[in-house]
Structure 1
Amino acid sequence: MAADVVGPVGLHHYYAAVGNRDAKLATLLELLQALQATTNRRHLAICCSSRDTLDAVVHALLQTRAFAVTAIHSDLTEKERELALSNFRRGAFGPPAAAPGSAGPSTGGGGAAGPADGGEAGSLRERGGLDAGAAREVEQLPSVLATTDVTLKALPKELLPVGVSLVVEYELPPSKEVYSRRMQTLFGGGKDRRAQRCVVVDMVEAGAVGAFRALEGFAATPVLEMPVRVEDMFTAQS
């Protein structure tokens, strides 16, 4: 599940300072496009505090047609959230391995989708602005999971941690509890983080200095300025 480890493993935390909300969205797109240009195809999660922000981020990403975007929010049913997360994991990491001695992939729970799941998966793709003819192309794109904090609490436990290598905190966590939930849900616990390079990038608007100072107080590691070469976040000592 983990991406190829090049630099030191563990949690590495960075921030990107932006002037305002419009600049924040532009900076996010520049960051993701720069990562896309690197040799390693990285899969990531974007954390938002509100549904309005989530919608704006997802819309901007879909407009680029450069990412396979999965949006999980509170308007989805429990079954739809489970299916969306399963599809994200399948697109990012491939189908789950069959258990030893089993005849093939399981069709229950969070396993590979069976025929009954195909229609629902198709409808979710269409909601994301993708038609069925683009499905094969989507599978070759970097996978992006966009979610709200409310939804993180409702994700199916059997599909966690998500296992991404990069988390973008598009909106700063308002508390240590929210921050910890993001890290635990998306990266896993301490053992999981020590097994791979886990990178967090915080998008900090000019008016959010107070929230950023609070984050520095409860973040698991020092929050450093994002390097000019974004790939250095995954390779350099920090």
Structure 2
Amino acid sequence: MAVDAVKTSSSSPSSSHFSQPRQYYVAVDRPQFKMVTLVDLLRVASKRSSLPVVLCCSSRDELDAVCSAVSNLPNISLDSLYSDLAEAERMLILDKFRQATMKLNHNPAANAEVNRETGNEEHELFMMVVTDACIPHVSSGESSIFARVLINHELPTKKETYLRRMATCSAADGIVINMVAGAGEVMTLKNIEESTGLVIEQMPIDMFEIL
């Protein structure tokens, strides 16, 4: 497996886009390498600090595969949202994640302080895996999530879906990581970039640079 990622320039994002999440992509040679790369990214992220992460999938099958791959990783609190969930359970999971997100976004050092006091050097990553059908419906009055990290494990083909994921799931000062495999998905990413006016750069090899 080869992860195609290089360091980004110091000029990104530009000051005119300070209110938008920073956009990155990670390209792998083959689709089956996506999962291995995702697990590596999450292991790195969980060592840095406590983070709220939303991972978007386009299908239930992909959601199940992701949850199976990451469920046994240490220091990750994992929930998933899919269409078969009862609405009450869906709202409960969303509220739980929002509470964790608000706490970490407003006081990112809080968990680190607890870890120092208890002698625990590990951090916990709060992760929610969700299909497009189950992300909050802002147009219907639901609140956004504002996670620090949004991962598009499957890239949507429509720019409207991409923008909805970004606006609903990502904090303004957060980051979006797009996982792409093969020439087809690279072209889809380029089309999204051109049609939205967003600048999507390759993610640094050292993920700590952007966290």
TM-score where L is the length of structure 1: 0.67
2:194 matched to which residue of 1?
217
Per the TM alignment, residue 220 of structure 1 is displaced from its structure 2 partner at its CA by: 5.0
CA-atom RMSD, angstroms? 2.5
- Residue 66 of structure 2 corresponds to residue 90 of structure 1: no
1:57 matched to which residue of 2?
66
Per the TM alignment, residue 61 of structure 1 is displaced from its structure 2 partner at its CA by: 1.1
Matched length: 177
Runs (4+) of structure 1 exceeding 6 A deviation are: none
SS class of match (1:64): coil
SS class of match (1:172): coil
2:134 matched to which residue of 1?
151
Per the TM alignment, residue 222 of structure 1 is displaced from its structure 2 partner at its CA by: 0.6
1:128 matched to which residue of 2?
none
Q: Distance in 2 between matches of 1:227 and 1:166?
A: 15
**Contact 2:57-2:152 at 8 Å conserved across structures:** yes
Q: Distance in 1 between matches of 2:46 and 2:72?
A: 16
Q: Distance in 2 between matches of 1:66 and 1:156?
A: 34
Q: Distance in 1 between matches of 2:80 and 2:138?
A: 12
Q: Determine which of 23, 44, 47 is the counterpart of 1:13.
A: 23
1:99 matched to which residue of 2?
none
**Contact 1:12-1:221 at 8 Å conserved across structures:** no
User: Which structure has the bigger radius of gyration?
Assistant: 1
Q: Distance in 2 between matches of 1:221 and 1:211?
A: 13
- Residue 205 of structure 2 corresponds to residue 183 of structure 1: no
Q: Distance in 2 between matches of 1:156 and 1:43?
A: 23
Q: Distance in 1 between matches of 2:196 and 2:24?
A: 11
Q: Distance in 2 between matches of 1:186 and 1:164?
A: 6
Identity of aligned residues (%): 28
Change (3 A) 1:142 1:158: farther
SS class of match (2:147): coil
Bigger shift: residues 12-21 or 83-92: 83-92
Structure 1 unmatched runs, 5+: 1-6, 96-139
Change (3 A) 1:174 1:65: same
**Contact 1:17-1:205 at 8 Å conserved across structures:** yes
TM-score where L is the length of structure 2: 0.75
Change (3 A) 1:220 1:160: farther
Per the TM alignment, residue 94 of structure 1 is displaced from its structure 2 partner at its CA by: 4.2
2:180 matched to which residue of 1?
204
Q: Deviations over 1:30-88 (max 9, x none)?
A: 111111121x3111100100000001001111021431011001000111110111122
Q: Distance in 1 between matches of 2:130 and 2:186?
A: 23
Per the TM alignment, residue 219 of structure 1 is displaced from its structure 2 partner at its CA by: 3.9
Within 5 Å, give how 1:1-238 maps onto structure 2. Answer: 9-10=18-19, 11-38=21-48, 40-94=49-103, 141-152=124-135, 154=137, 160-187=143-170, 193=172, 197-206=173-182, 207-219=184-196, 221-234=198-211
